[in-house]
Chain A
Amino acid sequence: MAETVFGPVTDWATDFDHGSPAYAADMHKIWDDLKTSGCPIAHTNRYGGVWLPLTHEMVHEIAYDTDHFSSEGPVVGQLKPSEVPDRIGAPIGPVPPISSDPPFHAEARRLLLPAFSPKKIDPWRDEVIEICNKLIDDMGDANHIDAALQYSQHIPVMVIARMLGLPVEDGDRFRGWVNLVLSGIGEERTEERMAKFEEFNQYLAYHVNDHMENPREDLISFLLNAEIMGQKLSLEHTVGTVILLLIAGIDTTWSGIGSSLWHLASNSVDRRRLVENPDMIPAAIEEFLRAYAPVTMARIVKEDMEFHGVQMKQEDWVLLPFPAANRDDKQFANAHEVVIDREENRHAAFGLGIHRCLGSNLARLEMNVAIEVFLKRFPDFSVDPNEMVTWSTGQVRGPRSLPFVVNARA
């Protein structure tokens, strides 16, 4: 096992820490500085060795190259996949299908695709509108609100809990586990952290058991009945997929909604354009997805190899920073400007290749409705100058508190 490195970053080209608050606060500048200094792929010995490619071309190439890069470790941690106790190795991985490799991946994914296809997701629109309006009703007539704590963080939780068949009122617990899995990656493996993981596993085991005894019309019951090549899924596969849908369905969309609202609170011209022309919202959401893409994924190097002049070692981590690819000026005109009516926008916020975000249609629906409803109810709002906006750390980036002043309501 490689030496574990903690503490402040000394050099972003050779010692970066993508799980640090310093990275979360300043990632765009860090990428630009690295690229202009001639370092399109950074490295760190932290986490046992991680590579950070920064161009759209490299991110695209790695995402497509499933021969050399495995998805067994989609989130960088202090343990390599091979060091994890009770490992479920490739090609299935711990949380299929995001952790799966071909050819198994296609089977595990095909199972889930119909439930998340556009025609199955669109009918959720009215329910999402209702959820968003209710959250705003609950704010009463306060002029100081927190749009992350009182709005964006709740929307995806309520929808995915209903889809899976988990109690909606457990939202706070789900968010606690999301933070544990995704935001705490730079932390050491303390007993307290391990106890929380155990609590999460026991909670899921309880609800999966309950679905076995009392089947119903939801995704957990669907998974319990599903088959791959004539075989029922293993319990590990089912629980792993429930973990994936719960975790991936929550803080990613919460981050996307939050970043969009933060942009609109900080840019009154864009906000006014969308209030006056709500039909511009879908294109604006795509631009927010490009400019503030929440998700960075990871891969594991299968065997020692050379990649664009660097020597990658077997079991090195490789990050896929889709947010950096989306800011690459070789791929996007005025890549650093937020242009809400951008016409050409092949952004990679939902990934590229066979692991394209399974929930992208749901995420887009939630983001569009959340922004539509918020702008309709609060046509004028701004960031509270006396409070701090805070951002998450780790591979999912978004605002975790959004103190706003409501200047007008409708």
Chain B
Amino acid sequence: MALNAYAMDMRVRVDPSKCQGHNRCYALAPELFDVDDLGNAFELNDGVVPVGLEDKARLALANCPEFAISIEE
């Protein structure tokens, strides 16, 4: 499992044309997302999800009302 976890390369993306600033991702996973002065979200660290935070990435995706977040694995 550990090897598998290290090998995994998960990335999150916020589609800025869909984000309306509901702020769910930033509230649930501030390690992965930030918001600008208008309250619109963007991904941190070019979207790379550190090992151990995969569940937080999935939680953010599952709570975005605008379906603006995607995950690449």
Q: Do A and B truly interact?
A: yes
| Residue B20 lies at the interface, judged by CB distance under 8 Å to chain A | yes
| Residue A282 lies at the interface, judged by CB distance under 8 Å to chain B | yes
Residues of chain A lying within 8 A (CB to CB) of residue B35: 117-119
Q: How far is the CA of A116 from the CA of B66 in the complex (A)?
A: 19
Distance in Å: Cβ of B29 to nearest Cβ of chain A? 13
Q: When the two chains form their complex, are residues A356 and B21 in contact, meaning their CB atoms are under 8 A apart?
A: yes
| Residue A179 lies at the interface, judged by CB distance under 8 Å to chain B | no
Q: When the two chains form their complex, are residues A118 and B26 in contact, meaning their CB atoms are under 8 A apart?
A: yes
Q: Which of A343, A345, A356, A364 has the most CB of B within 10 A?
A: A356
Q: When the two chains form their complex, are residues A346 and B26 in contact, meaning their CB atoms are under 8 A apart?
A: no
| Residue B10 lies at the interface, judged by CB distance under 8 Å to chain A | no
Number of contact residues on B: which range applies?
10 to 19
Closest residue of B by beta carbon distance from A345: B63
Closest residue of B by beta carbon distance from A322: B65
Q: Which of A119, A286, A346 has the most CB of B within 10 A?
A: A346
Q: Is the interface of B mostly helix, strand, loop or mixed?
A: loop
Residues of chain A lying within 8 A (CB to CB) of residue B67: 346
Please, could you name 10 A-B residue pairs with CB atoms under 8 Å apart, sorted by A?
Answer: A117-B38, A118-B35, A118-B39, A282-B27, A343-B59, A344-B62, A346-B67, A352-B66, A356-B22, A356-B66
| Residue B44 lies at the interface, judged by CB distance under 8 Å to chain A | no
Distance in Å: Cβ of B32 to nearest Cβ of chain A? 15
| Residue A361 lies at the interface, judged by CB distance under 8 Å to chain B | yes
Q: Mark B1-44, 1 if CB is under 8 A from A, else 0.
A: 00000000000000000001111001100000001111100000
Q: When the two chains form their complex, are residues B39 and A353 in contact, meaning their CB atoms are under 8 A apart?
A: no
Residues of chain A lying within 8 A (CB to CB) of residue B65: 346-348, 350, 352
| Residue B71 lies at the interface, judged by CB distance under 8 Å to chain A | no
Number of interface residues of A (CB under 8 A): 23
Residues of chain A lying within 8 A (CB to CB) of residue B48: none
Q: When the two chains form their complex, are residues A354 and B39 in contact, meaning their CB atoms are under 8 A apart?
A: no
Enumerate chain B interface residues (CB-CB to A < 8 A): 20-23, 26-27, 35-39, 59, 62-67
Distance in Å: Cβ of A257 to nearest Cβ of chain B? 18
Q: How far is the CA of A306 from the CA of B65 in the complex (A)?
A: 27
Q: When the two chains form their complex, are residues A117 and B27 in contact, meaning their CB atoms are under 8 A apart?
A: no
Distance in Å: Cβ of A349 to nearest Cβ of chain B? 9
Q: When the two chains form their complex, are residues B37 and A350 in contact, meaning their CB atoms are under 8 A apart?
A: no
Q: When the two chains form their complex, are residues A118 and B23 in contact, meaning their CB atoms are under 8 A apart?
A: yes
Q: Mark A346-368, 1 if CB is under 8 A from B, else 0.
A: 11101011101000110010000
Q: How far is the CA of A347 from the CA of B23 in the complex (A)?
A: 13
Residues of chain B lying within 8 A (CB to CB) of residue A360: 21-23
Q: Given that A343-B62, A345-B62, A352-B65 are contacting pairs, would A117 and B39 also be in contact in the complex, using a CB cutoff of 8 Å? A: yes
Q: How far is the CA of A348 from the CA of B62 in the complex (A)?
A: 13
Q: When the two chains form their complex, are residues A350 and B22 in contact, meaning their CB atoms are under 8 A apart?
A: yes
